[in-house]
Chain A
Amino acid sequence: MATNEMQAQALNETGGGKTSFAISMLFPLFRATLWGLTGYFAAAWITAALLGSVIVNPLPATVGYIVGLVGWLMGSGLWEGWIRRAFGGAEAPAYTGVERYFRFGPDSKSTAVRYVVFNVVAFFFAGLAAMAIRVELLTPDSTGWWMSTIHYNMTFGIHGLMMLLAVAASVIVGGVGYYLVPLMLGVRNVVFPKLLGLSWWLLPPAAFAVFMSPTIGGFQTGWWGYPPLAQNSGSGIVFYVLGAATLLTASVLGAINIAGTMVYMRAKGMSLGRVPIFVWGLFAASTILIVEAPATFTGALMDLSDMILGSHFYTGPTGHPLAYMDQFWFLFHPEVYVFALPAFAIWLEILPAAAKRPLFARNWAIAGLVGVSMLGAMLGVHHYFTAVSPARMPIFMTFTETVSIPTGFIYLSAIGTLWGGRLKINAAVLLVLMAMMNFLVGGLTGIFNADVPADLQLHNTYWVVAHFHYTILGAVIFTWIAALYWWFPKVTGRKINEFWGKFHAWWFFVFFNCTFFPMFIAGIEGMNRRIAIYLPYLHGINLFISISAFLLGAGFLIPLANLVYSWRRGEKAEPNPWGSKGLEWQIKSPTPYIPFPEGTEPEVVGPNDNYAAGSKEPFVWVSTPSK
């Protein structure tokens, strides 16, 4: 793999402290938890006492959340790792060994690994909520022996919000992206390493608060949080609002790093056309977050202001509840592209290396990624055609259907890459191909949702539930697991078990389709979403869906076991097991704390997807400064 002697040297001299795990390394984590919980309860109780109120009311809960969040961050090491130093205080030591995984720090690689762990945990608990939903729907009316309608509403609200903001929003951008962006761009770290480190530490308290929202009354609105219902159905909505705003902030901090690193820190010789396609996908997603998150962010804060400060943005004499829908969907429709564009880009990153073919129509694919991100800002209204004037319908229908054009560029690029290639199918590639199939179904059914006459019939039915699970679970989560498999040797130096990887892929594909395809039929037959009971004629299909869902849910334990087992005992991987020409694979695996040593840097001298026999290496290692 070494392209010249300097690269060989670069690979051999990358050090960093080697330490083995000790229980004392968990101290920052324990301290953060202790300070977070103490801060929450102390602040909430004091506020409640001052107001003559109780801690489950919106204002004490809000004050408690903010103080608890600050306590958690300080406990995690933010004070000694950043703030103290910024005020001219002592410099914290650089934690280069295993201890860096358990405390706040500037290392993007350990941040990314923490993202994966967080996403797996959030996915597990939000998945349990999904299982609870499917138990409820085993019979036409399970409210007598399982969840009441109130609990059912809370459950699907938590499931939706957590799956979207604590899982889909960061599985690929966070766990995969933050690890690979610096390596793919040929730098040792992102532009604002501490800001990126901070982004992870915002996640656990936010997700914990949302999961705990039933303890202060829950919320009945589903993940939309539409007022006026939001303000009249339980204080738990406070945790929803604060949790969502915190998770969005974390996403934006990551987006700033991705955009800034790509624009300002590319390796020498890496023109925009030579930027790896995955980084382009992340960049497109980042622009969405930076430009469009403010609308939803302000909506959340205005809703909170109504509840704790007495303003009337969405209720009361001056309230405009429909404004919330505009604000909410201005980001949260494009947010699905924040999930999907990096997934598309991973297909286009993996397929050339697997098929040993250059990426077909590379510039069109880049245009597709950027095009989707730009069009995405103009079509959120299609989520509420039933609530807008007829004048807005054809405009937003047209914009929405236009998105299929840049998406088509991406598909054509993938198909063109596969065409005539000798595809070597391992578990990761298999999952990518399945994700492409699933997204095709999700995308094509989306056209019916975008079409006003069809949408007015399909709105709020299980058709919509099936559609977005095909795009998010079927495409994004499939691709996430594919990416974990593909880059597993990069992070751990070992390979996953291919047999169990492929076994899981087929298990997943079969039961995913058995779970969600019938939902299209149920939707057309009149099954409402978000209702705990249904008419008896829908029992058979719901029974089939629920049993498939249980098998699908159980199937997630296979990749989890595979990843954990392979991390400890998997087959040792060679440095570049897939024969990829990507820059990240030219660096030692597992990636050392310092990816490449001082005085050395990569220079790009050719396209990173030229797999023709005898083609020269795309990168060489040169001395710094190279100019």
Chain B
Amino acid sequence: MAENGYASLMDPAPERAKRGAFFFLTLFASIVFAMWDLARFLWGGTGVPSTLNMGVGIGLTVLMLISLVPVFGAQRKLNQGDDKGILSSMGALLVVAVIMICGIVYSWTSLPISSGYGGIYDITTGWFLLHFVAAILAFLATIMKGSRTPERAKRERWVSYNVLMYWGGMVVLWVVFFGIFYLA
């Protein structure tokens, strides 16, 4: 069994490739969300049920928009080469993700899944929930890696960029979701 001197040689993609190719992954995920969004009108009709909690929806959407502040802040720090400086922003985003999960689960209580709108709302937000869980794991990994092995985090800065891009994508998808499920 050889030592791990080969690892970096056998992962030759430069940062540009790692960040660029991540686009294909986000494209796939975004089209999945687009499918749910389109399906809302097929199964949910054009009306919004009175039991839909508009206040929670607005609150979560505002929170997502505000979460762009730490995203842009962390991105600026990464651009300046401050890998340690992003950890607090990642922590803040982790808290946002936990709040989003709580909000989604709370919204489920007032919408029966067996109804047309409830079914499509629940499966879409369920899909969001899975992505928020993934985001929590990603933030946790970034924070732990950055504090335990800062050199590795510096060498693999593309991971932090992609985590931030992932969250930025989630914000866009959530805002589209809000427009389609709450306003349209």
Query: What residues of chain A have their CB less than 8 Å away from a CB belonging to chain B?
Result: 16-17, 19, 86-89, 91-97, 99, 106-107, 187-193, 252, 255-257, 259-261, 263-265, 290-291, 293-295, 297-298, 301-302, 305, 309-313, 316-318, 320, 323, 327, 593-594, 598
Contact = CB atoms under 8 A, between A and B. Distances in A.
Interface string B1-12: 111111101111
Interface string B123-163: 10000000000000000110011111100110000010000
Contact of A291 (B7, B27, B141, B144): B27
B21 interface: yes
B31 A263 contact: no
B3 A93 contact: yes
Nearest to A18: B2
Contacts of A318: 43, 115-116, 119
B2 A311 contact: no
A189 B11 CA distance: 6
A593 B6 CA distance: 9
A298 B21 contact: no
A405 B133 CA distance: 46
A191 B17 contact: yes
Contacts of B122: 309, 311
A301 B17 contact: no
Interface stretch (B34-42, B72-80, B176-184): B34-42
B42 A252 contact: no
B165 to A, nearest CB: 14
Contact of B21 (A187, A263, A317): A263
B20 to A, nearest CB: 5
B12 A256 contact: no
Contacts of B120: 313
B24 A295 contact: no
B151 to A, nearest CB: 11
9 contacts: A86-B159, A189-B12, A252-B28, A256-B24, A256-B25, A260-B24, A301-B123, A309-B122, A311-B123
Contacts of A19: 1
Interface centre among B2, B9, B11 (most CB of A within 10 A): B2
The prevalent SS among residues of B at the interface is helix
A265 B16 CA distance: 9
A257 B18 CA distance: 10
A192 B153 CA distance: 17
A91 B4 contact: yes
A265 B13 contact: yes
Given A188-B10, A311-B119, A312-B114, A93 B2 contact: yes
B104 to A, nearest CB: 15
B32 interface: yes
A257 to B, nearest CB: 8
Nearest to B45: A318
B1 A106 contact: no
B42 to A, nearest CB: 6
Contacts of A256: 21, 24-25, 28
A107 B10 CA distance: 7
Contacts of B32: 294, 297-298
A294 B35 contact: yes
B99 interface: no
A10 B20 CA distance: 29
Nearest to B150: A88
B113 interface: yes
Contact of B145 (A87, A313, A598): A87
A558 B36 CA distance: 48
A294 B28 contact: yes
Contacts of B118: 311
A88 B148 contact: yes
A294 B43 CA distance: 18
A310 B11 contact: no
Nearest to A327: B35
Contacts of B28: 252, 256, 290-291, 293-294
A248 to B, nearest CB: 10
A305 B123 contact: yes
B4 to A, nearest CB: 5
Given A97-B2, A264-B13, A310-B114, 9 more contacts: A16-B6, A191-B13, A265-B12, A290-B28, A294-B32, A311-B113, A318-B43, A323-B42, A327-B35
A488 to B, nearest CB: 23
Contact of A191 (B21, B140, B153): B21
A320 B43 contact: yes
A148 B140 CA distance: 54
Contacts of A255: 24
A94 B12 contact: no
Interface centre among B28, B43, B120, B123 (most CB of A within 10 A): B28
Contacts of A190: 13
Nearest to B10: A189
A257 B11 CA distance: 12
A260 B34 contact: no
A143 to B, nearest CB: 39
Given A264-B17, A293-B28, A295-B35, A91 B7 contact: yes
B31 A294 contact: yes
A259 B39 contact: no
B21 A260 contact: yes
B27 A290 contact: yes
Contact of B5 (A92, A94, A293, A320): A94
A264 B9 CA distance: 17
Contacts of B152: 88
Given A87-B140, A88-B152, A17 B2 contact: yes
